[in-house]
Structure 1
């Protein structure tokens, strides 16, 4: 038609600059007649059924087997879904059981007894993947419910989700399928995860790094990932990078990554080609694993990768309104968007659905014919949707008694040094169920005691390989997070330590995971798994040497925004409290745990016994720093975080000298969630308990490690908030001294003391007489400290000595 552009299904590539010899690195197989006639017939019927259901789910709410001419009333009011990637996905699986059954993987399972999971990167391809949910029956009623319930109010989501049996990755936010897969196979020596990576997802930075994941997999102790790159050429409205690359370019790319490449592109012979390719890939995996497990590992083994080239939306409408559909971006979402109102598009839909000949695939009762089901594994526990690794594999950790690693009260100790000693014990007690995923910061964060018990598991370094290390250290927060997710969802427990400022890199990944966890908790057949555990250190309060770029506590707010049943934020004030907290978090299930603390030596305020009680309570009055043990105070000073709590204690000591008539109560909060309004979080204090801790009516000054607005949000809903003042990180910083960072952000002892005098003067008439004079003097002391720092380039020697009372 005039003015319209016809898109070619497979745009011709420009002449490659790479030599033809590059193709010698891709694997060539004789695939003609690879399958028997019966196997081939079953595969083709399976694929037709898969594609039919995928298409029907997008459009139909009635007449799901197209037993008559469909009408406008048979079409859903809203047409949602992404058809374009479904045909590629449905070559692997189909919605025909109470759980996913994946065609060619199932053939391997039946043939070899393969232990496998399936991870789907293109989550938008859900119509091909979403299954009969467990409550659906394998009959016409179940088929109708499956098709009509897709992506409608009261139905089930358009993405892979926690309600999909066998799923350990949603795929809504692209880029993480591969790293999740590598995490899933760690310490699962017999498991193979087949991971489909769409060519759109392959454009993301996280995927680009995750290709290196196999370099952290020891084939002697862990399973394998089989990546399948689905190149269909287009995303929403543009070609993909991979879709414009010819075979030599793709072969060169993946050869450089360290893979053996097998390209599958003969659409007419796709079932034979794919079957042969997957058999080859499995044989290569077994070869690598057998060598490693016999004590003769292959030096830098080349793992297999399959490149599947198919036209976008294969099998769907070819042309509509003069524009190509199949093989173009028009097939990406709903290829017939006007089927509800357009006679032309409704007729095209009828033709399209009937082309699969559903009457040959299903009986009149909606039951799949035997040929379609003949590739389903007979052993229930082998079926991909019922693999226990995906929903019922949690192994509790054996956590050593944390008191063994405590520091003596009254000394100074790094929280991270103490935690490192505990983690060393955890590694020793759990050699196959615990890993640390760290972005190259383990030693910097002073957790290196772990390395006394375990090496890093970096297989690409010949000198380091084969040691079975519990530490995965790679400078990609995305890859660490993805591996942690896969490792956790398949039953184990992990820890993600990081510089505070850079945890925000994986904020949306964490949020996506929490949504999956929320749905898992609401899915009856899914059992709890371990928690995601984040250890946030190298905090802004001691990142003065690295400067402003390393000063950012914003990840706290990201966790606070999660569903309250999932979110836990802890700021233990000293090493002993941190040990108690870490021990708890490693044993907890289904949470997102964030622990924030210092790696620098700081005072050990509490004995192990008192630390235990403090952590159980989440907050307590620190009598040793309070006037008359906190009884009848004029003002309440609250520390939340290691260094800012130190400043509160220092302020209390300063006030004993500068305003001895002021009655101060010092409170430490280590469980941030207790502050939230009554009933808003499982840990929140009742209003009565809140008042007993903070008084019903006295001024309260919070010295908080994070952004003040976070604390304001938590406290919203508490009565009498006009008496509350809050200081925290103000987005002020530079390369300066540690104490100057406190001054810059108004969290220093002088700022706390000044706030205490202002608040205490409201109810203490004796103090009120001289309040202005004393506050002015304290501010003068602060200015003198800054003058000293700028003149000498450092803090005074005794600045961080433990205050005495």
Structure 2
């Protein structure tokens, strides 16, 4: 075996590793006596033991070895960890290198600071047990497994000098998002992207059971990763000195391979997808921990997954802990003041080369504003409301095209094979779909340098985009509305990250996570019930107001205004829901900007209350609900000319909440001025009706609010039949007004019969002809239906 480490260096590296392990165990267990200057007693141990030990020594082992190659080659490296609760290790290493004390000066590099370091871990008022936004050097939340490798590749895109080391736990490797993310190497271009070094950490067990990849034969495991397109390098064993030499030799080989790949591609251009190296590290779970506890083997088993001795009142457990901590020989590691000895501290890189201090792991430090075209230049000319038909997201796609063009290194589009389907085809005028895999004649806009990231995995797209944003760039994710639910949990984690990061003073704001949800519930008539689900909005709206924004622009010009706003925003999750089908356009650009700025407002041109008190408020949010509301208003105005109707359109859902609940919320006085204090409100809403009630339950007139929306009625049918099935159509909306506005006179019965006749005609027509009635298909605002 090649032995690149001198006797002196290997001893120092092993000591540094022991120091990280000591600090990791201390965080899990110790409340006091951090340097064991006194015999350990039960009162020195935390009353509640939280944290995970099993994966931590392996993470510490990798960290010290990365420090060596960073210093040797002056590398720019960030450290992404998938093993969810390996937090003690990352905190320990950033403390040893000095970063932790720089961002948290109260956690000083001495005995007093060490005690605070230990006490804060998994402790009220402290930090979580997993890698989180509070952890320097981290770009992802470690509380949920599955996303680390997608995040790592997202961080590497357009970062040519960055090496992203990503540790994948063998438990995490069993998750669906992670299993897919191995294929990210088919999208990494060595000419202009950085490199990702995956390290599969096999320690054999999850919480209680064995892991899949740790239990397949080595040749099968090697074949698996060669099949994925990697060159695997194995580092296996449990003897520390042998493992140090093997890991050092392997990293030297791997770094040389990465540099050769990049050097060749950057000198000679991209030729074919390279076989990127990866490392498979097999080490005991709970390495260097207690061999046995209470007569049961612990190191190398699932028993070391979390806390090897959970009940410290058990006879002998304090003694086991003391012997465990003393096995790291802390007096060799820390001086009398509690500071890491200088000869060991010298092993860490300096300044921004420290992985905890790398600016890529605090992406707001590197974030630059996008160069944005003027969205007004894409405006649809609208002589009068409803007179023009356009596809809103196609217009938006022209704006996105030019954002791509103007920001060739800091903006990418992500979509699960739906960029063209969602009408963003214009982007292919300036770029292509990215692929470094084989490209054959007949492929449509596919190239190694493409900036459209398409793979049929919402998980992968989300993870890539999050990694891209977290390291200081910008992007947009377009998706079918029904299937964005696939990444519900990933959205959860990112929203929580943004919430926590906004309260961490040294974290800088990053670009917002922007979603376009199109191919939405009301125009998934051809795909049917499986594609009909607007519930992602409800999921998003459950998160903190400081983080989330939801927009339902009714037409193309309002969509352009909202898109520009979202691209300029920071630290939000912006959800835009917009249709891609030809639809009436309502607002000219000036009106659209004013309307979107307010977030909601009265459409006086569609109202008949003449600025006075209305008999009924017809409210709407969403493109199809807006059209059906206006069609209902026209019917009512035709049959009941004296009925005073107010039309209120809502773009920004958060405006419906009170100001105490959301910063976009309007005051009670404003709400009452728009919706009245006592008149019926018929609200046509894009999604599930209950959300509108949730947002408005504190308002004065909530008892008069009647919401029509998606009632989980769907099938393969015509567009208009979809709204009829859910009673969101013009006829049901108009009838709802008749049911709630008294004193409309003898014409009510006649109009009721008219509505029933129209609904009957509709049902008969679609079953006979397979399409909606001409008067529905050809309806335009301002033209009487007769």
| TM-score, normalisation: structure 2 | 0.95
Q: CA deviation at 1:632?
A: 2.6
For residue 159 of structure 2, what is the aligned residue in structure 1?
A: 188
> Alignment partner for residue 445 of structure 1, among 422, 426, 430?
422
How do residues 31-50 of structure 1 correspond to structure 2 at under 5 angstroms? Answer: 31=2, 33-50=3-20
Q: CA deviation at 1:109?
A: 1.4
Structure-1 separation of matches of 2:500 and 2:481: 28
For residue 92 of structure 1, what is the aligned residue in structure 2?
A: 62
Structure-1 separation of matches of 2:614 and 2:189: 60
1:504–1:555 CA contact under 8 A, matched in 2: yes
Structure-1 separation of matches of 2:546 and 2:50: 31
For residue 20 of structure 1, what is the aligned residue in structure 2?
A: none
Q: CA deviation at 1:769?
A: 4.7
Q: Which runs of 5+ in 2 are unaligned?
A: none
Aligned with 2:774: secondary structure? coil
For residue 21 of structure 2, what is the aligned residue in structure 1?
A: 51
Structure-2 separation of matches of 1:722 and 1:252: 65
Structure 1 residues 422-476: Cα deviation after superposition (integer angstroms, max 9, x where no partner): 0011011100110011000111111110011111111113457764211000000
How do residues 246-285 of structure 1 correspond to structure 2 at under 5 angstroms? Answer: 246-268=217-239, 269-285=242-258
How do residues 139-158 of structure 1 correspond to structure 2 at under 5 angstroms? Answer: 139-158=110-129
Aligned with 1:195: secondary structure? strand
- Range 736-745 or range 51-60, more displaced: 51-60
1:387 aligns with 2:358: yes
Structure-2 separation of matches of 1:618 and 1:244: 56
For residue 372 of structure 2, what is the aligned residue in structure 1?
A: 399
> Alignment partner for residue 803 of structure 1, among 770, 774, 781?
781
- Range 622-631 or range 748-757, more displaced: 622-631
For residue 115 of structure 1, what is the aligned residue in structure 2?
A: 76
For residue 292 of structure 1, what is the aligned residue in structure 2?
A: 265
For residue 61 of structure 1, what is the aligned residue in structure 2?
A: 31
For residue 354 of structure 1, what is the aligned residue in structure 2?
A: 326
For residue 645 of structure 1, what is the aligned residue in structure 2?
A: 626
How do residues 596-635 of structure 1 correspond to structure 2 at under 5 angstroms? Answer: 596-629=577-610, 631-635=612-616
How do residues 569-584 of structure 1 correspond to structure 2 at under 5 angstroms? Answer: 569-584=550-565
Aligned with 2:80: secondary structure? strand
Cα 1:466–1:599, aligned 2, differ >3 Å: closer, same or farther? Answer: closer
For residue 312 of structure 1, what is the aligned residue in structure 2?
A: 285
1:744 aligns with 2:725: yes
Cα 1:712–1:374, aligned 2, differ >3 Å: closer, same or farther? Answer: same
Structure-1 separation of matches of 2:656 and 2:749: 31
- The count of corresponding residues between Structure 1 and Structure 2 is 760
1:138–1:367 CA contact under 8 A, matched in 2: yes
Q: CA deviation at 1:137?
A: 1.1
Q: CA deviation at 1:629?
A: 4.5
Q: CA deviation at 1:768?
A: 4.6
1:422 aligns with 2:399: yes
1:75 aligns with 2:56: no
Structure 1 residues 325-364: Cα deviation after superposition (integer angstroms, max 9, x where no partner): 011100101001122x112111111111111111111112
Cα 1:626–1:416, aligned 2, differ >3 Å: closer, same or farther? Answer: same
Structure 1 residues 272-306: Cα deviation after superposition (integer angstroms, max 9, x where no partner): 11111112111111111112211343422100010
Structure 1 residues 613-663: Cα deviation after superposition (integer angstroms, max 9, x where no partner): 011011111122111555331101011000111000111111122222211
For residue 667 of structure 1, what is the aligned residue in structure 2?
A: 648
For residue 198 of structure 2, what is the aligned residue in structure 1?
A: 227
Q: CA deviation at 1:772?
A: 4.5
Aligned with 1:620: secondary structure? strand
Structure 1 residues 485-507: Cα deviation after superposition (integer angstroms, max 9, x where no partner): 10001111111100000001001
| TM-score, normalisation: structure 1 | 0.93
Structure-1 separation of matches of 2:117 and 2:749: 73
Aligned with 1:682: secondary structure? coil
Aligned with 1:513: secondary structure? helix
For residue 160 of structure 1, what is the aligned residue in structure 2?
A: 131
**Following TM superposition, where does structure 1 have runs of at least 4 consecutive aligned residues deviating by more than 4 angstroms?**
463-467
Q: Which runs of 5+ in 1 are unaligned?
A: 1-29, 94-102
How do residues 320-719 of structure 1 correspond to structure 2 at under 5 angstroms? Answer: 320-339=293-312, 341-378=313-350, 380-391=351-362, 392-409=365-382, 410-462=387-439, 467-629=448-610, 631-719=612-700
Q: CA RMSD in A?
A: 1.4
Structure-2 separation of matches of 1:251 and 1:60: 41
Aligned with 1:189: secondary structure? coil
Aligned with 1:267: secondary structure? coil
Q: CA deviation at 1:68?
A: 2.2
Aligned with 2:738: secondary structure? helix
Structure 1 residues 120-140: Cα deviation after superposition (integer angstroms, max 9, x where no partner): 101211111124442211111
2:672–2:700 CA contact under 8 A, matched in 1: no
Aligned with 2:434: secondary structure? coil
Structure-1 separation of matches of 2:557 and 2:140: 36
